[in-house]
């Protein structure tokens, strides 16, 4: 099934202007993922110690269990909010595995078709692109000629 038309088309320059903000958002998501892992580790320890008895309110570690379970829920909500409000709302998308690997795609056009400007966390600017179905392994360098033609066509 083909993907729907993107909400926004970026020029290379427009995508590059967002890199600083995207770096910050992904850094915050990574920090939250670490927090999520700590909560999960604590829950696993409590489960190993008590099993289902940790759910009983009279259990001495029940409060600790609830604290970490709430921490997981709140942290997941925070990550989802950042993704929704700071990335997706700007018209940027995550490719498969993007959240785990710090990859973002900026929809653009090239020669009348939609393609993606591809950026990986740590890269100073958007310097690659790929076909919609090309993925990270299909990345190609953005040449000056490409950059001049990308994002200038209307759908």
The angle at the Cα of 87, spanning 132 to 135, to the nearest 5 degrees, equals: 20
Q: Is the pLDDT of residue 153 over 90?
A: no
Least confident of 49-63, 67-81, 138-152: 138-152
What's the pTM value of the predicted model, to 2 decimals? 0.84
For residue 155, the model assigns a pLDDT of 43
* Proportion of the chain above pLDDT 70, given as a percent: 95
C-alpha 90/C-alpha 87 separation (Å) is 5
Domain boundaries, the chain: 12-90, 98-149
Quick: pLDDT tens for 76-130: 999 999 999 999 999 999 888 888 888 999 999 999 899 999 999 999 999 999 9
Q: Is the pLDDT of residue 71 over 80?
A: yes
Q: Give the chain's mean pLDDT.
A: 92
Q: Is the pLDDT of residue 5 over 80?
A: no
C-alpha 44/C-alpha 23 separation (Å) is 31
C-alpha 61/C-alpha 44 separation (Å) is 13
Residue 129's closest CA among 102, 110, 112? 110
For residue 97, the model assigns a pLDDT of 82
Instruction: Give the position of tokens 């999960």.
Output: 40
Rg for the chain (alpha carbons), in Å?
21
């Amino acid at each position: 099934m083909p993907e729907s038309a993107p909400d926004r088309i970026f020029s290379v320059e427009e995508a590059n202007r967002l890199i600083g903000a995207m770096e910050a958002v992904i850094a915050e998501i990574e920090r939250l993922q670490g927090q999520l892992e700590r909560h999960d580790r604590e829950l696993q320890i409590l489960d190993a110690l008590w099993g289902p008895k940790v759910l009983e309110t009279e259990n001495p570690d029940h409060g600790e269990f609830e604290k970490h379970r709430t921490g997981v829920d709140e942290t997941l909500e925070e990550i989802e909010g950042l993704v929704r409000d700071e990335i997706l709302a700007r018209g940027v998308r995550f490719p498969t595995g993007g959240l785990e690997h710090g990859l973002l795609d900026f929809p653009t056009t090239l020669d009348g078709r939609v393609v993606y400007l591809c950026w990986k966390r740590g890269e100073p600017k958007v310097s690659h692109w790929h076909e919609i179905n090309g993925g990270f392994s299909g990345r190609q360098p953005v040449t000056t000629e490409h950059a001049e033609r990308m994002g200038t066509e209307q759908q």
